[in-house]
Structure 1
């Protein structure tokens, strides 16, 4: 299902959320959803744009699937409004909404062939038989399953079943495709391949895709923007790069990828940057990032392990943005090795080294005394 042309230039230029004149295609306006005494979605407002691949990311029970089900019409908001292309969806039944949903289980009919599974919704809509045949053949070609048209689901691999479910969801040409953990049943390698196929397909069709997932890498790979959720609220909405490099809170920083969170207090700093004195690690952190908080305020310095340099020799200035410790443990992950360095204070900081050559002998190994260091713009200061 690979695209005929590279989609990178298109994805780089696609950013309607930065255009003050652009109107969201899907809007949640102060939406709350309660199930008895439990609040699944709490006074949430959100805009999703046409042709956007949008990800709802968060742990189980955070409200992401409830949001998607309100778009599909399987749930109605307790308060607030959900709009699609300017139309209020409250009271509109699922079968009258220009949406379709692909479930994690795929929900294929086991007694029907691939062809008939794809055609099922079209037959329910009483589409003329010649049009059904043409549409099914179009979908089979789209997902590269033409030779498997007469097979039953039990004769297919997991990846092929996933493509059948995708083709069936797309057959009715909805304006919005809702994907509820669509790749969860696939093995890791196939899941990674399918992620790129999904983005290629979404760009080719020019449709709005919304995916619910708890897999950070999946959201980072497929989405134009990600909404990170927690307890029914959206904590941050941004592009994958912004979510990873510029998290707005400890929750987002800790949820996305691996991170070192170093607690400290803000100290007076020269210039526009920030300075933290971190008693727990003994570090003095200086950044180029301005922080709107008074000296003495509690703050955290968040830095990714791959942005921490590890070496046997001290850096040029060991008094700031540097720490000394002992290698406590090493994790070999194939492409990288992650070092857990124990400091004199008892705290542990992680650093990553790319394995650029075949691993015969480690230049840095267990119980070595090492220095950790980072640049002024290597991390971000968080105040919440």
Structure 2
């Protein structure tokens, strides 16, 4: 039997031209009066995919979820599930269930009665309900808490009750709207992995809405970055982080240094950029940059070396400045280095040893440097 890690590692139906999307948003627009929440948006989601809609408040991600659930209808365009156009299909007749951030548990009911509620509403036989509830309790590891009321549970346990209730009816698609927002940081991190394992065990398609980049990067097979009702990029977490499609995506996901530059040389493999009077950049990731074009060079802080000692070659991919700010975070130390031209560069150093061999402190002169493959050229 394959491990969950093996399944996730080999799962990429979007790269198979013969694979048929399970959920399709086709040129969907949603307006509320004069406000356009979703603007001519198209997305494809595959069966058994863990798909994240990521963006700031007001970007349209929750509106997409509500339209898929049937709580709102598109102003124009189509939403298809397994080939069926969902327009006009009421929420209770869609093979979709939605789990809200508030969990919405019934306070007067026990854990098992909360899980059983939807099954009773559907008229399932009592014996079948008892069997299904037992399966759900085992699945979310809450068997010892079956008789407790929600107020007798921790936040993480309440979250698992809501999850069990959502999947008890065995929907084809589970929609999760900021599902971990009410949990503290440590519990949220633990629950992310529980959700991933549960999704694989159930074989369901999960669509999660979140504004938490780390949450999306951890859990999702693919992420759709949204802004003002439009799709900025859809890709796997490593692709989103290492190869952002635009300045917006690079700046939105994680921390990044962006250098505006002019392309001074370009061949098939390399490009040379001039980013201000004192910074010449050579890059092996030139993208679609053309000679003489104005572009942005994006490089993540962890790809930048910071040292009191000058690199061997200071003429390219290097600049000198002053340590402007320091944040010690235990596993890493973050440095802000103000270059001599006034720009501030962020660099992250892993604290692999208890004592640094090149200690830097506020006000020290320092060099920043990076390799040709450290960053990427962005043309939009």
TM-score, scaled relative to structure 1: 0.97
Q: Which residue of 1 aligns with 2:324?
A: 328
Q: 1:53 aligns with which of 50, 53, 65?
A: 50
Check the 8 A contact 2:23/2:44 in 1, yes or no: yes
Q: Deviations over 1:101-148 (max 9, x none)?
A: 000000000111101100000000000000000000000000000111
CA deviation after TM superposition for structure 1 residue 237, in Å: 0.1
Q: 2:146 aligns with which of 146, 149, 161?
A: 149
CA deviation after TM superposition for structure 1 residue 371, in Å: 1.1
Q: Which residue of 2 aligns with 1:230?
A: 227
Runs of 4 or more off by more than 3 Å in structure 1? 359-362
Aligned mates of 1:271, 1:137 — CA distance in 2: 61
Aligned mates of 2:31, 2:267 — CA distance in 1: 49
Q: 2:163 aligns with which of 166, 182, 193?
A: 166
Q: Which residue of 2 aligns with 1:103?
A: 100
Aligned mates of 2:357, 2:186 — CA distance in 1: 29
Check the 8 A contact 1:53/1:223 in 2, yes or no: yes
| The 10-residue stretch of structure 1 (54-63 or 328-337) with the greater mean CA deviation from structure 2 | 328-337
Show the 5 A alignment for 1:1-384.
6-279=3-276, 282-359=278-355, 363-384=359-380
Aligned mates of 1:292, 1:354 — CA distance in 2: 32
Q: What is the aligned-residue RMSD (CA, Å)?
A: 1.4
Aligned mates of 1:241, 1:339 — CA distance in 2: 24
| The 10-residue stretch of structure 1 (315-324 or 226-235) with the greater mean CA deviation from structure 2 | 315-324
Aligned mates of 2:358, 2:137 — CA distance in 1: 51
Check the 8 A contact 1:274/1:291 in 2, yes or no: no
Q: Deviations over 1:297-318 (max 9, x none)?
A: 2111100000001112211211
CA deviation after TM superposition for structure 1 residue 258, in Å: 0.6
Gaps of 5+ in 1: none
CA deviation after TM superposition for structure 1 residue 347, in Å: 0.6
Gaps of 5+ in 2: none
Aligned mates of 2:234, 2:287 — CA distance in 1: 21
Aligned mates of 1:158, 1:292 — CA distance in 2: 48
TM-score, scaled relative to structure 2: 0.98
